[in-house]
């Protein structure tokens, strides 16, 4: 079974989904009611919850490893929209909740807390795509998804998957917020689903014209060719 992020991962909007101009119920906050993305921060990395689709009947084979830390501050109903997350902060996890590594996977990519998988969202130390999303060796399949409903349309060919992962590790990373402000996240887009070996999966959004991904990864000519080639097979079938 797959776990799918049903939204675009853009760092500029990943912290706060909505707010309004009236005073909220949080004393001293000049914000409206805040709806936080379900996130947690540990070891200077922000992670975002990977929600399970409603049709998942069996648990994913996620095995907890060592404890990385605990939640020390729950932001919901307590933090203002200008709150800067720090280690131990979580949007909805209760204080005292333990955060664990997932055995067999790098903690820079994914962790688990309260039996929920959290995928990396922001890592200030990451300078390359591989630093932010270490994929080589952890990926089972790549799929093209429908931009209408997020359903799988077709899997990548195995040779295309290998080429994609080989090239991914060499790609550069830029600040998503800056790219967004420059209009680089506009126009035609493609949804790619990355399925890990343990069944956990997540979405990468790719903008065709600018050759960039929503997490700030800058595509190469090879990556662009691979995506366009797979897309052409979809169109022709």
pLDDT in tens, 59-101: 666 889 999 999 999 999 888 888 899 999 999 999 999 999 9
88 and 137, same structural domain? no
Residue 106: pLDDT above 90?
yes
Place of tokens 């899997």: 155
Mark whether 118 and 134 lie in a shared domain: no
Question: What is the tally of structural domains in the chain?
Answer: 2
What average pLDDT score do residues 8-13 get?
38
Residues 6+ apart with CB under 8 A from 213: 204, 205, 206, 207, 219
How far is the CA of 76 from the CAs of 15, 58, 79, in angstroms?
A: 12, 30, 6
| Final residue before a domain boundary, out of 99, 124, 149 | 124
Does 113 or 5 have the greater pLDDT score?
113
Q: Are residues 13 and 118 in the same domain?
A: yes
Sign of the C-alpha dihedral computed for residues 228, 218, 150 and 106 taken in this order: positive
Residue ending a domain, among 75, 93, 124, is: 124
Q: Among 55, 89, 124, which residue terminates a domain?
A: 124
Q: Which of 12-26, 28-42, 70-84, 144-158 has the lowest mean pLDDT?
A: 12-26
pTM of the model as a whole: 0.80
Mean pLDDT for the stretch of residues 36-50: 93
CB distance 183 to 230 below 8 Å? no
d(CA 22, CA 205): 33
Q: Mean pLDDT check: name the lowest of 37-41, 48-52, 209-213, 227-231.
A: 48-52
Range of the domain at 32: 1-124
Cα(142)–Cα(172) distance, rounded to whole angstroms? 20
Q: Are 117 and 62 in contact (CB under 8 A)?
A: yes
The answer to whether residues 120 and 131 belong to one domain is: no
Report the interhelical angle of 158-168 vs 221-236 (nearest 10°).
Answer: 160
């Amino acid at each position: 079974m797959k776990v799918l992020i049903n939204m675009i991962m853009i760092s500029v909007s990943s912290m706060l989904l909505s707010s309004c101009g009236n005073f909220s119920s949080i004393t001293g906050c000049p914000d409206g009611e805040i709806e936080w993305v379900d996130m947690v921060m540990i070891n200077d990395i922000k992670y975002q919850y990977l929600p399970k689709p409603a049709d998942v009947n069996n648990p994913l084979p996620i095995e907890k490893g060592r404890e990385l830390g605990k939640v020390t501050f729950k932001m919901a109903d307590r933090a203002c929209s200008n709150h800067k997350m720090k280690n131990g902060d979580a949007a909805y996890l209760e204080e005292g909740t333990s955060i664990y590594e997932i055995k067999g996977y790098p903690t820079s990519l994914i962790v688990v807390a309260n039996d929920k998988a959290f995928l990396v969202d922001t890592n200030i130390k990451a300078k390359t795509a591989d630093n932010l999303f270490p994929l080589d060796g952890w990926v089972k399949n790549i799929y093209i998804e429908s931009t209408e409903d997020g359903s799988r349309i077709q899997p990548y060919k195995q040779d295309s998957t290998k080429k994609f992962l080989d090239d991914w590790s060499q790609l550069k990373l830029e600040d998503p917020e800056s790219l967004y402000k420059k209009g680089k996240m506009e126009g035609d887009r493609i949804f790619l689903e990355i399925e890990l070996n343990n069944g956990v999966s997540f979405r990468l959004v790719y903008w065709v014209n600018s050759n960039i991904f929503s997490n700030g990864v800058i595509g190469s000519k090879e990556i662009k060719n691979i995506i366009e080639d797979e897309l052409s097979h979809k169109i022709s079938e």
